[in-house]
Each structure stands twice: as structure tokens, then as C-alpha cells.
């Protein structure tokens, strides 16, 4: 196994499936099944999921809502998604532990490095909602912060595209896929792997980012076992 402990970053939009809003039960089931297979193979998994399928603070701010309030509303959306994923994982027989930077008893507790690592070592799938707990930071930054705290081998960024391309492959048929990139190359090519704060944290802490297609069944397990199907930035 190549990756024994990972931070899986999922977008909130990925939970919509074919819908325009909210959570698709089919996508929730599929993602939980993929995570279960990887966990059953022996991988310790922590998860950070965005909230864009429910609410986007930045978009709301552009429409006149106070940015700080909008960001906190977005953090609450990530907790809703985290609870939905937790429920589906538990339905499939998994042990889970839900943490959140916004403490909401009795739903979740505030994350600490020792508590998250202890939960992983006890066989739990750890889910971390609430972003960083502060406005002006994205879930990309939150996932990087948590990955560093738990000593993850890599951030696995599950998307609907099978890696990083020279341009958007959904809009440009001539786009070419990168197999691997250095942090410096990704910066020079202005590739939007993660937001700059998250990217700088990964670079500073030598934390690889692996971008892959999470929507294809079996891909998560392939990645943790070392099969190269996406793009790695390191």
C-alpha cells in the first residue's frame, strides 16, 4: 500500500450528482462505498468536504451579503454534508468520528491533533467539518491544515476529472493531462490545483497533492495501492 494515512478532500458539488442543488443519495452511497473499500484495505482515512452544493460564502458576498456571515454559513453547510456522509458510512457498517472547527454539541467536537490521530488509530473514519473555523479561509486550506496535523502521507483530491490538465478538459478537447508536477511547475503554469494559501502550506510541508477522478468506481482504492491514474504534485 502506497498511502497508509490520507486526507481525502471532496467538493460539496460532487454530492449533487446530476442535480443542481443539495445531496444525491446515489452519490452519497457511491462515495461511502468507495471510502469503505479503501478503509477495509487498511488505509486510515480522514475526510474534509466542502459545502458548495448548499451554500457558497464567496458567492453570497458578491451579491451583497456580509462576507464574514457568508463564510460562517458556508462552514455550517460543510457540517451538513459531513453529517450526511457520516450517516451513510455508518449505514454501511463503518465506525466514524465527526469533528468540527465549529463546536456543535452533541453532533461534533472540536478537532485536536491527538484526538484525530487517536480516532484514526482506533479504526474510525474521521470526518472534519466547519472549515478552519475562521472566515476568509477555504476548505482547501482546512484540508491542508488537517492533513499536516494528522501526518497524512498525501492529500487525495477527489474530483470529477481524472487529473490536472493544461486547460479545462470539459471545455477544451485539446487539453493535455499532466502525470506529475512539482509545486514550482504548478505555480509557474498557473494551474489551479488548490487555492494559494493551501498550496503554499503543502509546498512548505512537503505534502503531496494527488488529483484523481473520484466518480469512477474503484479509483480511490487504486490510488492508495499505488496505481497511477491521476496527477501528483510534489
Report pLDDT digits (tens) over 168-223. Answer: 888 888 999 999 999 999 999 989 889 999 999 999 999 999 999 999 999 999 99
CA 70 – CA 55 distance, rounded (Å) = 8
**Which sign does the torsion angle of CA 170, 175, 176, 182 carry?**
negative
CA 36 – CA 46 distance, rounded (Å) = 12
Q: Could you give the percent of the chain with pLDDT greater than 90? A: 77
Burial (0-12, 13-18, 19+ Cβ within 10 Å), 26 = exposed
- The per-residue pLDDT for 149 is 97
Q: How confident is the model at residue 160 (pLDDT cuts 50, 70, 90)?
A: confident
Kindly state the average pLDDT of the residues 65-79. 92
Mean pLDDT score of the chain, rounded to an integer? Answer: 93
Stronger pLDDT, 19 or 10, i.e. the higher one: 10
Do 16 and 25 touch, CB atoms closer than 8 A? Answer: no
- The per-residue pLDDT for 106 is 86
Could you read off the pLDDT of 35-59 as tens digits, one per residue?
A: 999 999 999 999 999 998 998 766 7
Is residue 65 pLDDT above 90, yes or no? no
Kindly state the average pLDDT of the residues 88-98. 97
- The per-residue pLDDT for 145 is 97
Stronger pLDDT, 20 or 154, i.e. the higher one: 154
Q: Could you give the percent of the chain with pLDDT greater than 70? A: 98
Q: Which fold has domain 5-233?
A: Carbamate kinase (3.40.1160)
Domain boundaries, the chain: 5-233
- The per-residue pLDDT for 122 is 98
Q: What's the pTM?
A: 0.94
Is residue 60 pLDDT above 80, yes or no? no
Taking CA atoms, 149 is separated from 57, 94, 95, 130, 153, in Å, by 25, 23, 21, 16, 11
CA 205 – CA 198 distance, rounded (Å) = 11
- The residue count of the chain comes to 234
Amino acid at each position: 500500500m502506497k498511502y497508509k494515512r490520507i486526507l481525502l478532500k471532496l467538493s460539496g458539488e460532487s454530492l449533487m450528482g446530476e442535480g443542481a442543488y443539495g445531496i444525491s443519495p446515489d452519490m452519497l452511497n457511491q462515495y461511502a462505498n468507495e471510502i469503505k473499500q479503501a478503509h477495509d484495505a487498511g488505509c486510515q482515512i480522514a475526510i474534509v468536504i466542502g459545502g458548495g452544493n448548499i451554500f457558497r460564502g464567496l458567492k453570497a458576498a458578491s451579491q451583497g451579503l456580509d462576507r464574514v456571515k457568508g463564510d460562517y454559513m458556508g462552514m455550517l453547510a460543510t457540517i451538513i454534508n459531513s453529517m450526511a456522509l457520516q450517516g451513510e458510512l455508518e449505514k454501511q457498517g463503518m465506525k466514524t468520528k465527526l469533528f468540527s472547527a465549529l463546536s456543535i454539541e452533541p453532533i461534533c467536537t472540536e478537532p485536536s491533533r491527538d484526538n484525530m490521530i487517536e480516532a484514526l488509530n482506533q479504526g474510525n473514519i474521521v470526518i472534519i467539518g466547519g472549515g478552519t473555523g475562521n472566515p476568509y479561509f477555504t476548505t482547501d486550506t482546512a484540508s491542508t491544515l488537517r492533513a499536516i496535523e494528522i501526518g497524512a502521507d498525501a492529500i487525495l483530491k477527489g474530483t470529477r476529472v481524472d487529473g490536472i490538465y493544461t486547460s479545462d478538459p470539459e471545455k477544451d478537447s485539446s487539453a493535455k493531462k499532466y502525470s506529475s508536477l512539482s509545486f514550482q511547475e504548478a505555480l509557474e503554469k498557473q494551474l489551479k490545483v488548490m487555492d494559494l494559501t493551501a498550496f503554499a502550506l503543502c509546498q512548505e510541508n512537503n505534502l503531496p497533492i494527488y488529483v484523481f477522478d473520484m466518480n469512477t468506481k474503484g479509483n480511490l482504492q487504486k490510488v492508495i495501492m499505488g496505481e497511477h491514474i491521476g496527477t501528483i504534485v510534489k
